[in-house]
Chains A and B, each alone.
Chain A
């Protein structure tokens, strides 16, 4: 038990909320507003935890239970996935377990959406299912191509700046980073796919699903979304960082600092996208996701060509 074991969890579990703060702040600047302070999401979560709850008369125990489960799974992922460039082995997390823990979170969110019997929740869930079916192969192709090139499925080994088989695959890293970035925009219900701040019931996906959550329940859901954002963006950021050759030989401190900076920059890029781009029409979304799948296929070609 060293200081690292105390500081790292606190840091890793609080950075996601800060990232949301960064996105909100930058977005506000785009709209000529000053914006709330960076730590506002943290304050929001604490506020929600203190508030009372309004629960639908049709909701069952599944509503709170599923949000608790998905929050816990996301905490586990945040602590064990190498999104901050720290290779540690709390869990022997391989890429398949990583993806299916995210599926766990999705299934729990779908149940939260359907449980209170709201038509909006139902339609949000229906949209989420469709998007996930389209996005899933892209994520899988990117990660599995990396795994084939590195000859290991363990995330801690792939993303550790030490697998010499992967050092000269800058192209593969870059393509995988792009593919994962685009698919995380869709998975996180971010701008070209879904507008997280609008509450237009006709088109929203994630917000429609969490419409019935309030108080501590809402705190859990928002915290879950923040952690998912951090982990997904962090993994795609790690891909970009691994494409930079000199970083492989730099010290661990440089790598961790670069990782943190990358996550913040990627969060900033989401804010830039949300400040400049409008939401895509629902029927145009498969074409957008096709870019992610395209990057995945390019990764695949790289992986079968090399090694």
Chain B
């Protein structure tokens, strides 16, 4: 799916706030307004909060880079991990047009935030900041982008045009021969390092079952299972969602699609209103 991959890449770059794309423009505005706020206030505590917000935002940004490198890399690049994925093709014309419009606007808003930034300045500039955001020079402007494009072309030329021989060979697998698609990194194992380090927070658990008569030297079967139980999702979102779903199911029982029952509802509500009107 070369076209969808390219368009998804643009979107992913934008989410990760990579400079010429729209995500960067918005993130830059958030950073700059927090910074303006921090340098204009004289209260040390408020300033500290603004600066720590900037630091946390940058950590979240790094996290989103990981997440979207995973989504783009594992989802679109490399080998297909299932037969269904191997047979996937680009969608037809109209939906590609839709995606292209979104991708183009990602680029346009990132390269020319002047189109929309003046509208946003009154919103993002926090109440105490006198300096307007529009006064700060925004770096990824057209000349910079042209310079970047030229440099990319130069490097691309050096990489793609120079080699006299290009040999295709299997990916390096320590000499075991080409590994099966299951042997490549999967989404769970990509997140493993992160999950392990924040294990207590995410309630991360791995369980390895190795079976066999001499299981240390000649394992016959190996199964490793991991489980992540993030507390917020597990104890707040899941019960909330479950509650809504349960309520929805119970409410559907009221919808019987029978004219008699609905007439009964109408009668009951009119009667109820009449009673209410009598007492109020």
In the complex, the answer to whether A126 meets B190 with C-beta atoms within 8 Å is yes
Chain A residues with CB under 8 Å of B152's CB are 68-69, 72
0/1 string, B188-225, CB within 8 A of A gives 1: 01111110010000000000000000000000000000
In the complex, the answer to whether A133 meets B73 with C-beta atoms within 8 Å is no
| Residue with the highest number of chain B CB atoms closer than 10 Å, among A52, A53, A100, A135 | A100
Chain B residues with CB under 8 Å of A94's CB are 32, 136-137, 139
* Interface CB pairs A-B, < 8 A, 10: A49-B158, A72-B154, A97-B139, A100-B28, A114-B70, A119-B173, A125-B185, A130-B194, A153-B32, A220-B159
The one of B24, B48, B159 in contact with A216, judged by C-beta atoms closer than 8 angstroms, is: B159
In the complex, the answer to whether A92 meets B183 with C-beta atoms within 8 Å is no
Q: Is B246 an interface residue (CB 8 A)?
A: no
In the complex, the answer to whether A122 meets B184 with C-beta atoms within 8 Å is yes
Find residues 217-231 in chain A having any chain B CB closer than 8 Å to their own CB: 217, 219-220
In the complex, the answer to whether A114 meets B163 with C-beta atoms within 8 Å is no
A220 to B174, CA, bound (A): 24
A144 to B47, CA, bound (A): 11
Interface residue stretch chosen among A27-35, A101-109, A267-275:
A101-109
In the complex, the answer to whether B73 meets A115 with C-beta atoms within 8 Å is yes
Find residues 102-149 in chain A having any chain B CB closer than 8 Å to their own CB: 103-104, 106-107, 110-111, 113-123, 125-127, 129-130, 132-137, 139-141, 144-145, 147-148
The one of B48, B77, B166, B191 in contact with A55, judged by C-beta atoms closer than 8 angstroms, is: B166
Q: Closest A-chain residue to B170, C-beta based?
A: A57
- With A49-B162, A53-B167, A220-B158 known as contacts, the answer to whether A103 contacts B194 (CB < 8 A) is no
Find residues 77-129 in chain B having any chain A CB closer than 8 Å to their own CB: 77-79
The one of B9, B65, B140 in contact with A132, judged by C-beta atoms closer than 8 angstroms, is: B65
Q: Closest B-chain residue to A150, C-beta based?
A: B39
Task: Name 5 extra pairs, CB < 8 A, besides A97-B24, A103-B16, A144-B38.
Answer: A56-B170, A56-B172, A67-B159, A116-B171, A300-B55
0/1 string, A289-307, CB within 8 A of B gives 1: 0000000100011011101
- With A50-B162, A110-B73, A145-B51 known as contacts, the answer to whether A65 contacts B156 (CB < 8 A) is yes
Q: Is A91 an interface residue (CB 8 A)?
A: yes
Q: Is A196 an interface residue (CB 8 A)?
A: no
Q: Is A151 an interface residue (CB 8 A)?
A: yes
The one of A104, A118, A132, A134 in contact with B18, judged by C-beta atoms closer than 8 angstroms, is: A104
Chain B residues with CB under 8 Å of A154's CB are 137
Chain A residues with CB under 8 Å of B62's CB are 103, 129, 132-133, 135-136
CB distance from A81 to the nearest CB of B (A): 11
Q: Is B164 an interface residue (CB 8 A)?
A: yes
- With A64-B159, A114-B77 known as contacts, the answer to whether A140 contacts B169 (CB < 8 A) is no
0/1 string, B136-179, CB within 8 A of A gives 1: 11111000100110011011101110111111111111100001
Q: What total of A-B pairs shows CB separation below 8 Å? A: 255
Where the two chains meet, the residues of A that have a C-beta atom closer than 8 Å to any C-beta of B are 49-60, 62, 64-65, 67-69, 71-73, 75-76, 90-94, 96-97, 99-101, 103-104, 106-107, 110-111, 113-123, 125-127, 129-130, 132-137, 139-141, 144-145, 147-148, 151, 153-154, 201, 211-212, 215-217, 219-220, 286, 296, 300-301, 303-305, 307
CB distance from B37 to the nearest CB of A (A): 10
Q: Is B270 an interface residue (CB 8 A)?
A: no
Chain B residues with CB under 8 Å of A296's CB are 55
A228 to B66, CA, bound (A): 19
In the complex, the answer to whether A144 meets B35 with C-beta atoms within 8 Å is yes
Q: Is B268 an interface residue (CB 8 A)?
A: no
Q: Closest A-chain residue to B16, C-beta based?
A: A107
Q: Is B266 an interface residue (CB 8 A)?
A: no
Q: Is B134 an interface residue (CB 8 A)?
A: no
A113 to B73, CA, bound (A): 9
Chain A residues with CB under 8 Å of B228's CB are none
A115 to B77, CA, bound (A): 5
The one of A72, A116, A136, A286 in contact with B78, judged by C-beta atoms closer than 8 angstroms, is: A116
CB distance from B70 to the nearest CB of A (A): 8
A217 to B193, CA, bound (A): 28
A305 to B54, CA, bound (A): 18
Chain B residues with CB under 8 Å of A59's CB are 78, 171
0/1 string, B28-71, CB within 8 A of A gives 1: 10011001001100001001100110111011011101101110
In the complex, the answer to whether A53 meets B79 with C-beta atoms within 8 Å is no
In the complex, the answer to whether A53 meets B165 with C-beta atoms within 8 Å is yes
The one of A51, A90, A122 in contact with B189, judged by C-beta atoms closer than 8 angstroms, is: A122
A125 to B144, CA, bound (A): 29
Chain B residues with CB under 8 Å of A114's CB are 69-70, 73-74, 77-78, 185
